[in-house]
Structure 1
Amino acid sequence: MAALASLLDCLLWPARKEEEAEKEEEAGADGPQSLLAAPRCSQRPHGGVAASWGLRFGASAAQGWRAHMEDAHCAWLSLPGLPPGWAFFAVLDGHGGARVARFGARHLPGHVLEELGPAPSEPEGVSQALRRAFLNADERLRSLWPHGEPGGSTAVVLLVSPRFLYLAHCGDSRAVLSRAGALAFSTEDHRPLRPRERERIYNAGGTIRRRRVEGSLAVSRALGDFAYKGAPGRPPELQLISAEPEVAALARQTEDEFVLLASDGVWDAMSGAALVGLVASRLSLGLAPELLCAQLLDTCLCKGSLDNMTCIVVCFPGAPSANEEAIRRELELDTALGRRVAELYASAQEPPSLNTVFRTLASEDIPHLPPGGGLHCKAAVIAEAYSRLFQGSEECREQWLWIISQQQKEVFARIL
């Protein structure tokens, strides 16, 4: 097993067992959610640029500790039939299988386009179109599953126009907006105990047990989950589980920097403010958004996330750009960490484990660690330095371990 995978396994094993026990208690008769013996960390970061209207994005996904990957996502830098400057991004997090999430990633953009029409009215007309699109997509999915097959998916969408940012979501996939260097907006998860959600569930004849709808679902809005959408005489938006999204229309400002969309596996590990700080710091190093996303998911995995993870970062013209001083500090930090790993290795009577090295470093006061991510964001650098002490064992050279450090070095060399 690669050095970083070993580090993750050692660091997270106690927490993993605790969370597995918690999930078993919450799930009741359904049993615990299955977890792998070691996380699957491979990623395929990708991105794109629409230079004419100042948009660029990056995206990545990791299966992590879960036995199956149930997340899906999509990104459209331009929308057919609409003027330049419109774009669409979505992250979907399936439960009970990946089928609903994959359906949403493929077909939700088409439903949005159909409802928008060639000349959408902003902002109210677009907000209503997004609500109808979610409900229509859900109805289409139901027609494909006439027998009510199990499974559902949360969803969070960013629709960009030249004048507004529209954030639509159902469930606990979340989005944050960074503006002028700070967290300016965050969506709020749809949980059964939120007053409006609780009232709808009770009015539809449902119950809430263990903070879950009917003791089972932890979210109160989702695509699919048709077993919870059969209350007679009630429209789709008033069922126990609703596919109706909450929509926020935010007027664009020159201070807008980026929007981060992510499934709940990311939010399990980091707060919105911490993620905004981490993303901004990585952009100041000149990292491409897709490599930033890969580093962010590695950081969340190292910080203890057990779920599938997917994130999309959409950058606007006001996003932080490469800063020579920030790059110089990062290079000095990487060098200092490598030197400290060598010192710890040399001073020990017996070669310390990578886990011991990491925990020792975590107890020390190390300046200029990445905001939000801290030492966990530098796990790949630490694992790389540790692996060199074993004369570059091939088992420490898996691509996923090197992608961030190697690409980051190329960026530094190009800028300095």
Structure 2
Amino acid sequence: MRTSRKGSVEMPAFVRQLVKETEKRVTSFFKGGRGGGAGELSEGEEGGEEEGVIPSPYLDRPVLDKHMQEGCASWGLTYALASMQGWRAHMEDFHNCFPQLGGELAHWGFFAVYDGHAGSVVAQHCSRNLLDHILGTGEQQAVLQTAGRLSRYKSRGVLEDQYPAEICSNLPQHTSLKVSSMPKQGSLDNISIILVCFPAAPQLSPEALHQEAELEDFLESKVAEIFEELSATGDEPDLLSVLTVLASTVIPGLPPGGGLQSKRNCIISAYYQQKEVRRSRLAQELSPTDAN
């Protein structure tokens, strides 16, 4: 399944200029140090159009087309993949998603993202051959266990602001949202994410949903209270000021290990809601009264 959306985000001009200047200087160095190597470029290279000059690895606008994939194993494992080219001139990532291997490894799966660096050749080769190589070593389980430990280490922090139960309830949605957010957060690389949910993963419960709703109601009321207190000086408080006060407040029921950071979306939404309410109120106060 493939979804498409044209990029509406432009790379900042200073970033484009920095990348281009760096590339020109590196190109000059590898051509034999013309123009002093890391110094000024020789005449004719200024426009970056000289034959042989390395093309920019970045685009002026990101490619936001997403490749989506999902599946499951007979023993209960589910997974979802999302990948995006992003700002890079080419998609260099490759991946493997095998939720269920055969034979003695029928209860094993194999998932991998191969991060291309300055090209896709090695990443593509690994996606085509690595699993067969592992299965041919005679030490499949030992190798897979080692790879699994590395995978868990590498994946830390990918969705640290979400509950595991919430993620597992809709893997495709979370992978899609996470990939979509990365260019906006400053990532200039290709983006590929695989989320795997095991049968023993926690499930959503009515009690947990109720606690979550209570926590968000509490946070929204605290943001409104802080916003009003800071507005008493006459100036509209910025988000950082509200967050600073909120961080010093005791808030019961925050997710273990996530803290206040795990509810940032709720807090930011509540802040802008208060901001809009204040502006609407000020507009009404400044509007001329109806003569009738």
Distance 1:371 1:37, change over 3 A: farther
Is 1:112 the equivalent of 2:112? Answer: no
In the TM superposition, residue 99 of structure 1 has moved relative to its aligned partner by: 3.7
Separation (CA, whole Å) in 1 of partners of 2:188 and 2:12: 10
Separation (CA, whole Å) in 2 of partners of 1:126 and 1:47: 24
Residue from 179, 182, 190 that aligns with 1:308: 190
Residue from 40, 45, 68 that aligns with 2:68: 45
TM-score, normalized by length of structure 1? 0.41
Give deviations 1:84-140, integer Å, cap 9, x for gaps: 2022111112233334323332x2255236x44xxx86xx5644xx5xxxxxxxxxx
Distance 1:58 1:332, change over 3 A: farther
1:244-323 to 2 correspondences below 5 Å: 260=155, 272=156, 274-275=157-158, 277-278=160-161, 281=163, 283-284=165-166, 287-323=169-205
Separation (CA, whole Å) in 1 of partners of 2:175 and 2:63: 16
**What is the SS of the residue equivalent to 1:47?**
strand
Separation (CA, whole Å) in 2 of partners of 1:32 and 1:364: 48
Indicate the percent of aligned positions where both proteins have the same amino acid: 26
Distance 1:33 1:275, change over 3 A: same
Separation (CA, whole Å) in 2 of partners of 1:19 and 1:373: 39
- The root-mean-square deviation of aligned C-alpha atoms, in Å, is 5.2
In the TM superposition, residue 39 of structure 1 has moved relative to its aligned partner by: 2.5
**Relative CO higher for 1 or 2, CA cutoff 8 Å, sep ≥ 6?**
1
In the TM superposition, residue 377 of structure 1 has moved relative to its aligned partner by: 9.0
Aligned residues: 231
List gaps (5 residues or longer) in structure 2.
Answer: 31-53, 232-237, 273-292
In the TM superposition, residue 370 of structure 1 has moved relative to its aligned partner by: 11
Separation (CA, whole Å) in 2 of partners of 1:313 and 1:103: 23
In the TM superposition, residue 60 of structure 1 has moved relative to its aligned partner by: 0.9
Distance 1:45 1:22, change over 3 A: same
1:356-375 to 2 correspondences below 5 Å: 365=246
Letter in 2 for 1:166: T
- Point out the structure with max Rg over C-alpha: 2
Residue from 88, 91, 101 that aligns with 2:113: 91
Is 1:101 the equivalent of 2:100? Answer: no
In the TM superposition, residue 36 of structure 1 has moved relative to its aligned partner by: 2.4
List gaps (5 residues or longer) in structure 1.
Answer: 131-158, 160-164, 177-185, 188-259, 261-271, 348-355, 387-416
In the TM superposition, residue 76 of structure 1 has moved relative to its aligned partner by: 0.8
